[in-house]
């Protein structure tokens, strides 16, 4: 069956034909593709078209598609059983790697998604502090948990959907939203609500309004102000964890949050999330403490095995310098091509994450990210797709470079991108 035939059938059976909104390609005004195979840094659709892939399953595939070490680990785990519902050795192995790699994590709890991780972290913070308010940043997406789906980025930003349909006003009102990178706004919020703020949750490098790095000193400021007011600092490293360095963004910037949320790379392509922190914090979770959280498939042996193989490979290879070099080459080369064409743009990148914004403004928060020309982005996306380059079908998402992107792949991608830009 072709892309069109499969999607036509999907429309009868799935809301919008998809199981996650951005996959419908509505923001780029074109027919979605259906992927049937991935190998290395390339994917193939149902029509047989090949693409150099910078979507990377929205970030998890830092080793590329069908990494031999991950596939082999999964095969071995599958042969032993798909699920047990009780503790298995892979959980302990993956926990040991997480604690070894993430500076601030002494104890970790596995869940099945990034949304579960942030939801559970918020509950834990409220349980420990006995406070009700959560402070988050405009444009930062932390999953579809009620308290956090307020002024979110990602698909919510793409479609311009209000942050709270289906969410009671009473719940939405417990979330304080301020601009990303604004110390003044955070300070004002703490002056007004400080004694009732349970936590601040932040993407240390925003990835769901497009890539937006923190201003110098901003994360340190958050660390200080939360300590001073008895609030907890939560780093949502679902995207940045194990991507920007072995220890994620917190290692890169030298900041220890109270709670860290993880996902994506942690599962090596399988559905996995986690939250962790110091022992005294995590000991408040059942069965040790009073804050309840559970999951039938949490710690699934197949998913854990994929995570172990992925993290061990990252530890052994330490690919982060090469990843950043390739991302820098890609970013600077695209910038040159767009400049030569006379197209206004900004390209933000940190490590192996990047976003092309079509705006003259410096992009440092959600307001400036929204100044990007989304109609031009849609044309850019379609031109790239036609030439065989796959990027996220949304202006407000990150591109990802993997260890499977070798120099020759970057060069070939840039040749295709040059053709696409020529046709804009």
Q: Is 373 a catalytic residue?
A: no
Q: What is the pTM of this model?
A: 0.95
Reduced to 3 states, what is the DSSP secondary structure of residue 18? coil
Reduced to 3 states, what is the DSSP secondary structure of residue 252? helix
The catalytically annotated residue of 7, 90, 133, 264 is 264
Q: Is 264 a catalytic residue?
A: yes
pLDDT at position 153 is 58
pLDDT at position 231 is 98
d(CA 235, CA 244): 14
The catalytically annotated residue of 7, 141, 145, 275 is 141
Q: Is 26 a catalytic residue?
A: no
Q: Which of 317, 403, 367, 308 is nearest to 63 (CA)?
A: 403
Residues 6+ apart with CB under 8 A from 150: 136, 163, 164, 167, 172, 175, 177
pLDDT at position 157 is 47
**3-62+319-422 architecture in CATH?**
Alpha-Beta Complex (3.90)
pLDDT at position 148 is 82
pLDDT at position 151 is 67
pLDDT at position 167 is 79
The catalytically annotated residue of 7, 51, 133, 236 is 236
Tens-place pLDDT, residues 113-147: 999 999 999 999 999 999 999 999 999 999 988 87
- The ranges assigned to domains in the chain are 3-62+319-422, 68-317
CA dihedral 101, 104, 110, 114 (to 10 degrees): -100
d(CA 323, CA 321): 5
Q: How far apart are the first and last CA of the chain?
A: 31
pLDDT at position 137 is 95
Query: What does the DSSP assignment read for 173-196?
Result: TTEEEE-TT-HHHHHHHHHHHGGG
> In the chain, which residues have pLDDT < 50?
157-162
**68-317 architecture in CATH?**
3-Layer(aba) Sandwich (3.40)
Compute the half-sphere exposure of residue 248: CA atoms within 13 Å on the CB side of its CA.
Answer: 31
The alpha helices in 54-144, defined as continuous H runs, are 68-80, 89-101, 114-129
């Amino acid at each position: 069956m072709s892309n069109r035939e499969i999607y036509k059938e999907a429309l009868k059976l799935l809301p919008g034909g998809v199981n996650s909104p951005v996959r419908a390609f509505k923001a780029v005004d074109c027919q979605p593709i259906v992927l049937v195979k991935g190998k290395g840094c390339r994917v193939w659709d149902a029509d047989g078209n090949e693409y150099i892939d910078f979507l990377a399953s929205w970030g998890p595939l830092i080793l590329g598609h069908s990494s031999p070490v991950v596939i082999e680990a999964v095969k071995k785990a599958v042969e032993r059983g798909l699920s047990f519902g009780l503790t298995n050795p892979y959980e302990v192995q993956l926990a040991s790697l997480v604690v070894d790699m993430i500076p601030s994590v002494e104890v970790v709890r596995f869940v099945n998604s990034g949304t579960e991780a942030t939801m559970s972290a918020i509950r834990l913070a409220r349980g420990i502090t006995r406070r009700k308010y959560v402070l988050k940043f405009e444009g930062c997406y932390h999953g579809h948990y009620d308290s956090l789906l307020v002024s979110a980025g990602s698909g919510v930003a793409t479609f311009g959907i209000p942050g709270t349909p289906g969410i009671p006003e009473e719940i939405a009102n417990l979330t304080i939203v301020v601009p990303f990178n604004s110390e003044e706004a955070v300070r004002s919020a703490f002056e007004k609500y400080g004694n009732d703020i349970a936590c601040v949750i932040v993407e240390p490098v925003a990835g769901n309004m497009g890539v937006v790095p923190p201003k110098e000193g901003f994360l340190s400021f958050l660390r200080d102000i939360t300590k001073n007011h008895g609030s907890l600092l939560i780093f949502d490293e679902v995207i940045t964890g194990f991507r920007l360095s072995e220890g994620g963004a917190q290692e890169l910037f030298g900041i220890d949050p109270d709670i860290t949320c993880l996902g994506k790379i942690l599962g090596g392509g399988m559905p996995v999330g986690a939250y962790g922190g110091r022992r005294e914090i995590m000991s408040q979770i059942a069965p040790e403490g009073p804050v309840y959280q559970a999951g039938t498939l949490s710690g699934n042996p197949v998913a854990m095995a994929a995570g172990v193989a992925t993290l061990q490979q990252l530890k052994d290879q330490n690919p982060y310098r090469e990843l950043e070099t390739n991302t820098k080459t890609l970013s600077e080369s695209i910038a040159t091509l767009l400049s030569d064409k006379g197209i206004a743009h900004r390209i933000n990148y940190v490590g192996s994450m990047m976003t092309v914004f079509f705006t003259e403004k410096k992009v440092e928060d959600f307001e400036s990210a929204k100044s990007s020309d989304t109609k031009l982005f849609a044309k850019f996306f379609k031109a790239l797709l036609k030439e065989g380059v796959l990027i996220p079908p949304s202006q407000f998402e990150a591109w990802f470079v993997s260890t499977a992107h070798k120099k020759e792949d970057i060069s070939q991608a840039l040749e295709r991108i040059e053709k696409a830009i020529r046709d804009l």
